[in-house]
Chains A and B, each alone.
Chain A
Amino acid sequence: MRSRIAALWLLCALVAMAIAVLALPGRSYSSQDREQPLAGASAQHPAGTDGLGRDRMVRVAAAFLLSLTGAILASAATTLAAAGVGTLSAFGPAMLGRLAMLVCDVFLALPWLFLLMMVRSALPLTTSPAHSAAVSFLVLAALGWPACARAVYRGAQELRNADWMLQARAGGLRGSQIVRHVLPNLKPLLTPQFLICIPAFIIAEANLGALGMGIGEPLPSWGGMLLELDNSAMLLRTAWVYLPIGLLILILLLLEAIAVEV
């Protein structure tokens, strides 16, 4: 419990630092210093610049906030969808439950990355960076719910067969009243699912970006910055190139620590 609280505080501190970095006047993730491409650390650029002369620290801060916000929203959407599908399947007709689980099996049979690549490659050629970011996380949310829905379905089925629920139904409780009692009881199941999905979505987005199919430039993303590691000229000139990967691992470890103890 103590390590979870420490991880939460550390994550909040990182978020505050990222907001502070972006709030400084004259800092933008897309503004270029054309005099100093591939520069090392300096007073003007504390973590140096990338190949296009853009401040690395600002870009890392923006990528962190963007991916965290996107992952949290996608995870919330996934959890809500899973809660809806799982509860309806468990409390609805048996046929609906079987059909919903078959659909879940279909989604689970598809490795995420292949489906993500398929959807991303079928987007219009003129997709804007903001749209590409929204689509990436939307697709993650759309693909992430089946595993969670299966767990919720199992939990909701147990609740449906619980003595107090049988009594409540026999006593004539309406569907809406039943749901009001079911959802709080599913909270211990939904909260970990929500927390587990956040780091999973961040990693998926980073992998997609590293393959050149994630968030479009000039918007910063973890995957886009990991591509810098392929540039040997950049690696020889400054060690700050490793900042994004180091920070990404730290953030994922913190998120895992928060999720694991729920």
Chain B
Amino acid sequence: MMSVGGLLKRFARTLAIVAMVVAGSTVLIRFAPGYLSDAREMDARYGDAARAELAAESARSASLTQMLSTEFGGWTRGDLGVSRQYDVPVAELILPRLAVTGGLLLRAIVYAWTLALCAALVTSAGRNPALLWQTPSALLLAVPTAAMATLCMLSDRGGPVLVMTLLVAARDFKFLDRMLRKAWRDPHLLQARAQGLNPLRLLLAHILPGIASQLLALATLSMVTALSALVPVEVIFSVPGLGQLAWNAAMNRDLPVLLAVTTIMAIAVTVAGMPADRAGEWQGA
């Protein structure tokens, strides 16, 4: 059982990571070679005076210290800045989309875990790696998400939930199968099976508690996988979620929106990783 001190330490580490994400992203954007260029400068309708004003506006926002204090100050007050593209507060753009993306992620992860766990339970109990399950998993992992989503659109079968479910399930299955296969081979479990103990009881009483920390770590990895697939899936299926908002922002160089969405994603991943017993275990999985 984790002590209060340990919990506080973990919470402080999470806060530090989020703060470093905000600071790092801000520094990255500020020093990117195209930070001071504006798409409007290429618009022939703008005259010299307007261009000079745009350049002056860019120069005013060039101070890194000012940018960092604005970002941190804004986040503490709940003000995420103003969208360059839509000229509305970023929070207004993000809040309605959070529910859409959250629902999509939740459904995809739940379905994927159910599918992967069932498949892994079946295959891991066998003697040899089952090609019947492993081949589709390898094939799904070899298809870029954007291509999978486009092919689903073309065939008029499936939607965003299916694509994300298949992708997350394929990745989870790969790890779950290996994890369970290794667990079943432990000497005490082999002996228990040889003595004729009920496999279901063994699974519930010995295997699942034994790999609980690894399962939590894998859950974080599922979150990262799902978030990485979010943008192509939402863009191709026209889902009005955070992924689509981030893509629109990236295409239109709306950096305040992009920074806010990236930070939200980082918070989601960091918070999802908190329950895992050891923070780095999911990488080792």
The listed residue (A114, A151, A203) touching B144 by CB distance below 8 A is A203
Q: Are A124 and B34 in contact (CB under 8 A)?
A: yes
- Chain B residue at minimal CB-CB distance from A251: B142
Interface residue stretch chosen among B69-77, B111-119, B247-255? B247-255
Question: Taking A125-B37, A229-B147, A256-B141 as contacts, is the C-beta distance between A111 and B269 under 8 angstroms?
Answer: yes
Contact bitstring A198-239, B, C-beta under 8 A = 1, else 0: 010001001100111100000000110010011000010000
B147's partner among A111, A125, A206 (CB-CB below 8 A) is: A206
B residues in contact (CB < 8 Å) with A: 13, 16-18, 20-21, 24-25, 28-29, 32-35, 37, 39, 41-42, 138-139, 141-147, 150-151, 154, 224, 227-228, 230-232, 235, 246-247, 249-251, 253, 255, 258-259, 261-262, 265-266, 269-270, 273, 279-280, 283-284
B96 to chain A, nearest CB (A): 19
Known contacts: A118-B25, A150-B280, A199-B142. The answer to whether A109 contacts B266 by CB under 8 A is yes
Q: Is A122 an interface residue (CB 8 A)?
A: yes
Whether A210 and B29, one on each chain, are in contact in the complex, defined by CB atoms closer than 8 angstroms, is: no
How far apart are the CA atoms of A125 and B235 in the complex, in Å?
22
Q: A121 — which chain B residues lie within 8 A by C-beta? A: 249-251, 253, 255, 258
A114 and B151 form a contact (CB under 8 A): no
Residue among B17, B42, B259 with the highest chain A CB neighbour number at 10 A = B17
Question: Per DSSP, are chain B's interface residues mostly helix, strand or loop, or mixed?
Answer: helix
The residue on B at minimum CB distance from A222 is B144
B29: which A residues are within 8 A, CB to CB? 118, 122
CB neighbours (8 Å) of B247 from chain A are 117, 211
In A139-170, the 8 Å CB interface with B consists of 147, 150-151, 154
Given contacts A123-B32, A211-B247, contact A109 B144 (CB under 8 A): no
Q: Any chain B CB within 8 A of the CB of A119?
A: yes
By the criterion CB–CB under 8 Å, are B250 and A102 in contact?
A: no
Q: How far is the CB of A214 from chain B (nearest CB, A)?
A: 10
B280 touches A101 (CB 8 A): yes
Q: Please, could you name 24 A-B residue pairs with CB atoms under 8 Å apart, sorted by A?
A: A103-B20, A109-B17, A109-B269, A110-B21, A110-B269, A113-B230, A114-B246, A117-B258, A118-B259, A119-B28, A119-B32, A122-B33, A122-B255, A124-B33, A150-B284, A199-B142, A203-B144, A207-B144, A212-B251, A213-B250, A229-B151, A245-B143, A256-B138, A256-B142
Separation of A109 and B28 alpha carbons in the complex (Å): 16
The 4 nearest A-B residue pairs measured at CB? A122-B32, A210-B146, A124-B34, A252-B142
CB < 8 Å neighbour of A105 from B32, B253, B265, B279: B279
Name the prevailing secondary structure of the A interface residues: helix
Contact indicator B265/A110 (Cβ below 8 Å)? yes
- Asked if A16 CB lies within 8 Å of chain B CBs, one says no
Question: Once the chains are docked, how many angstroms separate the CA of A127 from the CA of B253?
Answer: 14
Q: CB distance B144 to A105 under 8 Å?
A: no
Q: How far is the CA of A112 from the CA of B145 in the complex (A)?
A: 14
